[in-house]
């Protein structure tokens, strides 16, 4: 019997139904998520609470630390061919690629782990229809989004903060993991419930003007990347666990191809100063 209680989230234009009393109540207590709750309507994808997943056994193909290293997430496939995740011994997830519109998720009493598990679920459900969470900081300027990519600590948030301090017509859309949607030749960026250390939860989307990969330097210089360079710049900012699965990797590669085909990708060597924001904005908005 399926859980009865549910709520619906609007994420990057997708209506994601969270099914199950524990999950649907818990999600309302996680910072950011209530902003994305919408009235009952059509449903595109589902995350279904499933108590039978508790202690799920599967072949482990990889893993990575979360919560500042306090917990390890492992992933792989079970005997049924499902893609499975274990978030320590607190929560389990199963996704059958033959049923791309549903993820099964065990109940979880740790809201931080639940937040992360829902991020994984959203990635699995979204990638098959061109929606991927991308590690970045993103601002909106002149009605269009500009995304700053880079590893943690390279200055993404510093650069987008400079835009906010330097220009009057700029707002922060998300500071850690916005959702990017490729729909034909259109690429849009949406706010999400995952914004890192900066509480910025905006349920809105904007066309993407450009992506720029940040590198710390002793000068400010922006350069548009070739197609091959652009793919190499964008791919590392997509969820690494999706790229460990050959089937999911094909979907991620298609998504990245759609981005670089339709949006300019830059390398930005920069100092943490206002001139870096001017150099970047002048080039990006000369092209749109």
Over residues 89-107, the pLDDT tens digits come to 999 999 999 999 999 999 9
Residue 245 scores a pLDDT above 90: no
Give 1's pLDDT tier (boundaries 50, 70, 90): very low
Residue 267 scores a pLDDT above 80: yes
CA-nearest of 60, 55, 74, 8 to 36 is 8
pLDDT top residue among 191 and 69: 191
Domains within the chain, CATH numbers bracketed: 6-129 (no CATH), 133-284 (3.90.228.20)
In this prediction, residue 288 carries a pLDDT of: 58
Give 39's pLDDT tier (boundaries 50, 70, 90): confident
Listed in sequence order, the residues at least 6 apart from 122 whose beta carbon sits closer than 8 Å to its beta carbon are 11, 16, 133, 179
Helices in the chain by DSSP H: which ranges? 21-26, 111-127, 156-166, 227-234, 246-262, 274-284
In this prediction, residue 102 carries a pLDDT of: 97
H or E element that contains 108: none
Residues 257, 172 contacting (CB under 8 angstroms): no
**Can you give the pTM of this predicted structure?**
0.94
SS3 2: coil
Residue 87: which region, alpha, beta or left (left: phi > 0; alpha: psi -120 to 50)? beta
User: CA-to-CA distance for 37 and 193, rounded, in angstroms?
Assistant: 11
Rounded to the nearest angstrom, the gap between the alpha carbon of residue 182 and the centroid of all alpha carbons in its chain is: 13
Residue 3 scores a pLDDT above 80: no
User: CA-to-CA distance for 79 and 100, rounded, in angstroms?
Assistant: 18
In this prediction, residue 263 carries a pLDDT of: 97
User: Which tens digits make up the pLDDT trace of 151-165?
Assistant: 888 889 999 999 999
Average pLDDT over residues 249-261: 96
User: CA-to-CA distance for 112 and 182, rounded, in angstroms?
Assistant: 29
In this prediction, residue 113 carries a pLDDT of: 94
């Amino acid at each position: 019997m399926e859980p009865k209680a549910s709520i619906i989230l609007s994420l990057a234009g997708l209506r994601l139904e969270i099914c199950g009393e524990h999950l649907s109540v818990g999600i309302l207590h996680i910072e950011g998520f209530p902003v994305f709750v919408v009235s009952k309507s059509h449903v595109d994808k589902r995350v279904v609470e499933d108590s039978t997943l508790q202690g799920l056994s599967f072949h482990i193909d990889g893993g990575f630390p979360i919560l500042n290293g306090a917990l390890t997430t492992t992933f792989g496939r079970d005997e049924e061919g499902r893609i499975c995740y274990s978030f320590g011994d607190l929560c389990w997830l199963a996704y059958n690629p033959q049923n791309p519109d549903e993820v099964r998720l065990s109940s979880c009493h740790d809201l931080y782990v639940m937040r992360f598990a829902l991020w994984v679920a959203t990635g699995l459900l979204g990638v098959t229809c061109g929606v991927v969470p991308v590690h970045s900081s993103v601002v909106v300027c002149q009605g269009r989004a500009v995304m700053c990519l880079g590893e943690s600590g390279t200055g993404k948030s510093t650069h987008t903060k400079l835009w906010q301090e330097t220009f009057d017509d700029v707002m922060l859309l998300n500071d850690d993991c916005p959702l990017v949607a490729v729909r034909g030749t259109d690429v849009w960026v949406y706010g999400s419930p995952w914004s890192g250390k900066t509480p910025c939860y905006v349920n809105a989307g904007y066309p993407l003007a450009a992506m720029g990969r940040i590198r710390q330097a002793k000068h400010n210089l922006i350069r548009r990347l070739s197609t091959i360079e652009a793919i190499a710049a964008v791919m590392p900012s997509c969820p690494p666990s999706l790229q460990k699965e050959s089937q999911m990797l094909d979907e991620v590669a298609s998504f990245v191809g759609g981005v670089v085909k339709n949006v300019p990708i830059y390398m930005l060597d920069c100092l943490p100063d206002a001139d870096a924001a001017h150099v970047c904005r002048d080039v990006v908005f000369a092209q749109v």
